[in-house]
Amino acid sequence: MARLLRMPEIAANATEAILQDWTVEERTAFSARDSIATVETEKALVDIEADADGTVLKRLVAPGSKVDVGAPIAVLGDPGEQVGDLEALLTKLGVGAADAAGPVAEPAARLDPEGGTANTGAGALPEPALAEQVTTPNGEHRARIFASPLARRLAREAGLATETIRGTGPGGRILRRDVEAALAERMSARSDEPLRAPAEQPSTQPAVAAAGGFTEIPHSRMRRAIATRLSESKQSTPHFYLRATIDVRRLVKLRAELNDGADVKVSLNDLVVTAVGRAHALVPEMNVTWSPDAVRQYAAVDVSVAVATERGLLTPVVRGVEAMTVTEVSRATRELAERARDGRLRQEELEGGTISVTNLGMFGTEEFAAIINPPQAAILAVGAVREEPVARQGKLRVRPVMRVTLSVDHRPVDGVVAARWMEAFVGLLERPLRILA
């Protein structure tokens, strides 16, 4: 039986999202849990998965369109179902012909096959895929290669030629999973080489030169989301701050020993994140969030790790840190950071957690304070490791030290609780073998 597929509420309180790409063609069957379309939110690309077997009878929205949550985006049917009078079916489902042509969505600028921008008109329907024609060095033209816009972008960022990727979509179309598989194969073959950084992509929102010696750069959706979220946090969350200077001589030595001959290299930040998980387990009153009706205390410790990307700051969540080894934390944070920079995080990987860790030490920043990422209760700002004179038992020695600042939401957490947590955290870093226990 025919039914409407509507734009889901991908993120909490979201009112709209961009339909980035279709992954199933019209009049093509799909199975339960197959990806039907890819939706772009402010911070992530999210696959809309089928909840049952079926067929895409009609797409109602073109790729690149901004769609209200709850608006119809496609007509789905049972496996093998066909429709003779599509217009009558749309009317029966409460979707007029005009709605099917596009007014349910606001077309947004999108990249065309040559890298420029193009707007999808109100009556435009998406082409099955973007095709590119391969020309060999001797001028010979080969068959066209069909790939989804998302797959082409990911391949370009990863430095993969589409003609080297085997497509598993209908008609050999290259999908995102095919690019990811090709990238994984390349990384496996070159496991001893450093990861390739994604190429910088041109913004679809060009900078606008203005009189007066400045340039206006239009806000991206992510920049607006970050501004709104952090402004609300600073205005509505009563912050207080605790600072500590930590002797990390033993921590630096432990890291060197862990990395000696190891396949997975552990960073100081990995040790810090692991210590945060241990400290939350020691002081569970910190593993909380504030809600209007109650303070929620959690059994598992989920820690967000700040990652700088070309589009802005993302904070993917590492789940269950209190039960992970340092190596497991290192693998998890590295994998999340890579996918964050590639724009491949899932929405659920950006939600939850009770504390964030943000580290600017690699830029030489000695000390800073950060704004809490709501609804979390705290954020730890980590500075650079520097050699400084340290007094121990009346004697002055030069030791590597690291300064940290803990920003805390005073609504669910009192000062004494935060102080106990900081004491536990500092103790773990200064006697780091306890992190491994």
**Domains, the chain, ordered by start:** 3-111 (2.40.50.100), 130-189 (4.10.320.10), 222-436 (3.30.559.10)
Contacts by 289-298, CB closer than 8 A, 24 or more apart: 289/354, 289/375, 289/376, 289/377, 289/412, 290/375, 290/377, 290/409, 290/411, 290/412, 291/375, 295/412, 298/354
Neighbours of 107 (CB within 10 A): 18
Neighbours of 238 (CB within 10 A): 9
Buried b (16+ CB within 10 A) or exposed e, 169-192: bbeebbbbebbbebbeebeeeeee
Q: Is 61 helix (H, G, I), strand (E, B) or coil?
A: coil
pLDDT for residue 144: 55
pLDDT for residue 409: 97
| Residue type, position 382, single letter | V
Distance set, CA 186 to CA 189, 360, 370 (Å):
5, 31, 38
Cα separation, 180 vs 174, in Å, equals 11
The H or E element spanning position 247 is strand 239-247
pLDDT for residue 187: 66
pLDDT for residue 157: 67
DSSP state of 191: T
pLDDT for residue 384: 96
Distance set, CA 428 to CA 244, 273, 330, 377 (Å):
13, 11, 18, 21
Model pTM greater than 0.85?
Answer: no
Contact status, residue 403 vs residue 247, Cβ threshold 8 Å: no
Per annotation, catalytic residue among 141, 219, 280, 410: 410
Per-residue tens of pLDDT for the chain, all 437 residues: 888 998 887 766 567 888 888 989 888 899 998 889 988 877 777 888 888 999 999 899 998 888 888 889 999 999 888 877 777 888 888 775 444 434 333 334 333 333 333 333 333 333 334 444 444 444 444 455 677 666 776 777 677 888 888 888 766 778 777 887 887 777 666 544 443 333 334 444 555 555 567 888 888 777 887 888 889 899 999 999 999 999 999 999 999 999 998 888 999 999 999 999 999 999 999 999 999 899 999 999 999 999 988 878 889 999 999 999 999 999 999 999 998 888 788 878 888 999 999 999 999 999 999 999 989 999 999 999 999 998 888 889 999 999 999 999 999 999 999 999 999 999 999 999 999 97
pLDDT for residue 368: 97
Question: Known catalytic residue: 410?
Answer: yes
